Amino acid sequence: MKVKKQKVSPRQKMINLMYVLLMAMLALNVSSDVLNGFTLVDESLSKSADNTIKQNDVLYNAFESSLEQNPEKVREWYERAQEVKRLSNKLYDYANELKTRIAKKADGEEGNYTSLKNREDLEAATYVMLAPGIGEGEALYNAITEYRTKMLEMVDNPAQQEMIMTSLSTEVPNRDISLLKNWQEYHFENMPAIAAITLLTKIQNDVRYVEGEILHALSNKIDMGDVRVNQIQALVIPTSKNIVRGGNFQAQIILAAVDSTQRPQIYINDELLTSENGEYSVQCNRTGDYTLDGYMLVNDGSGSQSRYDFKQGYTVVDPTATVSASLMNVFYAGYENPVSISVPGVAANRISASISSGSGSIKSDGNGGYIVVPTKVGEEIKIGVTARNEAGNSQSMGEYSFRVRQLPDPTPFIEYKDKDGNTQRYRGGKGLSKQALMSSNGIVAAIDDGLLNIGFKVLSFETVFYDNMGNAKPMISDGTNFSARQKDMLRDLGRGKRFYISHVKAVGPDKVERLLPTTLEVIIN
């Protein structure tokens, strides 16, 4: 894309001047002062990039907030911002990887670009960036070019496009020393390691700067923080639609977008509501369904009145509570059973629960639910629920009984990664590839039946292989992992061969050690 040239920003002038000055000094003499200069510039650019990252994070957070407020309006620009973030991080991380490789080439495997020792090394950058067949210089050039092209597509302002072109330029200066050199040769050939790292830091700094400019451009297009009203509607906002008998129904009645300089007149059953802020309260002594019905009168600019009707239903119920195990209809001994406890019309922070003495423990999970840990198999435990009303008085909501059982036996399986990197569980009954089998360290056991997903620790297991004569060769594992002997046998298995896993010993969260009755047949395909 050809863009009309604009005036270069002062920031870009400063960065370019610093880098050109150091390059000129380097051409005269690679002294310690010059190398120290590169180190200072690199540190300054790194700090500048870090500050820009913090500023960009503020913009990303603003996009998140705006998306929650107005998804339909903001989603397109939010998704573009996320694409900018992904592409920027990709190029930034790539430059970081190259800095690490140059540092390790100069200082060895312990090398770190933040504390480079052999700063004057002239071979490290040349090897990493320009070595025939493995040099990364051309790949970096292409990555910058691709990133620049995609960022230019994000904006239509000529000045911003020129800023992007200047900051991410890959043109070779027209100087004697640059004759017959491409971009990567000009910047990295026979260049001290610290100079090459400084250049890569400059590229990272430019990426973050361009990222910020693009984010500002995108945010301007969605009018962040803009709020518009296109509807006037009477609203009833109740504290709760479900009321416990003896409690109060409370609601706030408002007119959306009402003029704050005047209050509407509110009528309930044709009687004027006298509360100043539109708050309404009535005691509920009988159960059933009820309706709050009324209207508002609002003066308009012409002096006439407009009427807005409202209607809100609510239900009055007897004191009750709901106690349910989140994953199952029974509790399992020694296991942290998640439990949901609720009382209609009562907020979660005003509900408390207790367990029958000596039966185990119950505690809040911090998210509105509870964790019950029974201690004895076969007994019945009771959970008592108490609710506190707005006046601070406590009321019993009843007791609820549950049977306690032992955790069922888990199923053994071989866990491995498929070609897409997803975790798979092999339970037998079909073929397993040799590659997947060899990538697994051993076996795993868990209760995984669609309702429960509880992991067990495998203590040991036995494999049985059969030789060509049909003789069985049992072998004991190394804990949860295949032993060295077992691994050797696995390597010798050919397509269509099979072996068996049995005598699996495992222990679950209930601390009960068990011998699993399941035998796992593994077929190699």
Task: Give the tens place of pLDDT for each residue, 406-449.
Answer: 998 999 999 998 888 888 899 887 889 998 999 899 999 998 87
The continuous run of DSSP H or E covering 105 comes out as helix 71-107
Copy the structure tokens of residue 321: 């509570």
Element (H, E) at 201: helix 193-220
287 has a pLDDT exceeding 90: no
**Percentage, residues of the chain above pLDDT 90:** 35
- Which of the pair, 306 or 37, is modelled with greater confidence? 306
Q: How far apart are CA 464 and CA 499, in angstroms?
A: 6
Confidence band for 98, pLDDT divided at 50, 70 and 90: very high
168 CB-near residues (< 8 Å, 6+ apart): 144, 147, 148, 151, 206, 207, 210
Q: What angle do CA 204, 210, 211 make, to 5 degrees?
A: 85
Query: Is the pLDDT confidence value at 261 over 60?
Result: no
DSSP classification of residue 228: -
Domain 234-317: CATH superfamily, name plus number: Immunoglobulins (2.60.40.10)
Q: What is the structure's pLDDT at 229?
A: 40
Residue from 191, 195, 204 nearest 130 by CA:
191
Is 322-405 the same fold as 234-317?
yes
Angle value at C-alpha 505, between 503 and 506, nearest 5 degrees:
145
| pTM of this structure | 0.41
With H, G, I as helix, E, B as strand and everything else as coil, classify residue 90: helix
Mean pLDDT of 194-213: 91
Dihedrals φ, ψ of 252, to 5°?
Answer: -110, 125
The confidence score (pLDDT) of residue 44 equals 80
User: Could you read off the pLDDT of 315-353 as tens digits, one per residue?
Assistant: 776 666 666 665 556 899 999 988 888 887 677 788 889
What residue ranges do the domains of the chain occupy?
10-220, 234-317, 322-405, 411-524
- Architecture in CATH of 322-405: Sandwich (2.60)
- Count of residues for the chain? 525
Q: Binning pLDDT at 50, 70 and 90, where does residue 31 land? A: low
